[in-house]
């Protein structure tokens, strides 16, 4: 993961066209699915939270939840903190997916939006999410998952950071997790679903 690139992007991130084209539609579906899957979530973590847009949305949907965010890029964390009101319940800190600074079984919901392909060690990151997720919790993962023709494009260009579904499922099973369902995101395409992941 190029943390420097995200540090440089942080100041413009909230105004990026990608917010409207990808992040906002994905966030909408994430929050709809979250409210349906775990309506009484008491603790929520966003791994790769950027400037905290999804957490700010979650604060409205889950008015009583503890809200935590981590991001590897220090400048993203600083931007997120600057955008929070003094009385905000959202707490953001610098950390990587492979070393989450939380106790076992801390969260009812974990979000990962378009960050999985940046994780330096995806297997270790998956294990960390499994560790901090409560037994009945859900991990909502939205990222490029190669299906159909894109599987061959992925193989031809050796895009190993973007898993095929069967590979992702193998990594999840190794730590006792599995994909319970998948929700498409209108306008974004079938390659970026919101996956609902739970304990097997």
- Cβ(52)–Cβ(77) under 8 Å? no
What is the pLDDT at residue 164?
A: 79
pTM comes to: 0.88
pLDDT (tens place) for every residue of the chain, 200 residues total: 577 776 676 667 677 766 676 788 999 999 999 999 999 999 999 999 999 999 999 999 999 999 999 999 999 999 999 999 878 999 999 999 999 999 999 999 999 998 998 899 999 999 999 999 999 999 999 988 755 544 544 454 455 667 778 889 999 999 999 999 999 888 776 668 899 999 99
Q: Give the pLDDT of residue 133.
A: 98
Domain 3-199 architecture: 3-Layer(aba) Sandwich (3.40)
DSSP labels, 97-118 = TTS--S-TT-EEEEEEES-GGG
User: Would you state the pLDDT for residue 86?
Assistant: 77
User: What angle (nearest 5°) sits at the alpha carbon of residue 137, between those of residues 135 and 138?
Assistant: 135
What local confidence, expressed as pLDDT, does residue 11 receive? 66
pLDDT digits (tens, 9 = 90+) for 17-27: 666 767 889 99
Q: Which residues pair with 195 in a beta bridge?
A: 141, 182
* Per-chain mean pLDDT for the chain: 87
What pLDDT is attached to residue 19?
67
Tokens 């960050």 -> residue? 115
Q: Given this model, what pLDDT does residue 166 score?
A: 87
């Amino acid at each position: 993961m190029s943390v420097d690139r995200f540090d440089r992007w942080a100041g413009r991130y909230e105004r990026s066209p990608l917010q409207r084209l990808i992040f906002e539609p994905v966030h909408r579906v994430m929050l709809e699915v979250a409210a349906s899957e775990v309506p009484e979530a008491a603790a929520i973590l966003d791994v790769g939270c950027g400037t905290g847009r999804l957490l700010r949305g979650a604060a409205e949907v889950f008015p009583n939840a503890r809200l935590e965010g981590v991001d590897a890029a220090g400048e993203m964390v600083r931007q997120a903190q600057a955008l929070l009101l003094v009385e905000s319940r959202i707490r953001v800190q610098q950390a990587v997916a492979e070393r989450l600074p939380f106790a076992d079984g801390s969260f009812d919901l974990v979000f990962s939006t378009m960050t999985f392909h940046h994780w330096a060690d995806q297997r270790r990151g998956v294990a960390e999410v499994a560790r901090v997720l409560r037994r009945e919790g859900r991990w909502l993962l939205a990222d490029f998952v190669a299906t159909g023709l894109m599987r061959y494009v992925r193989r031809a260009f050796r895009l190993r950071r973007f898993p095929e579904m069967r590979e992702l499922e193998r990594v999840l099973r190794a730590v006792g997790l599995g994909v319970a369902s998948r929700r498409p995101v209108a306008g974004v395409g079938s390659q970026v679903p919101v996956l609902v992941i739970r304990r097997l």
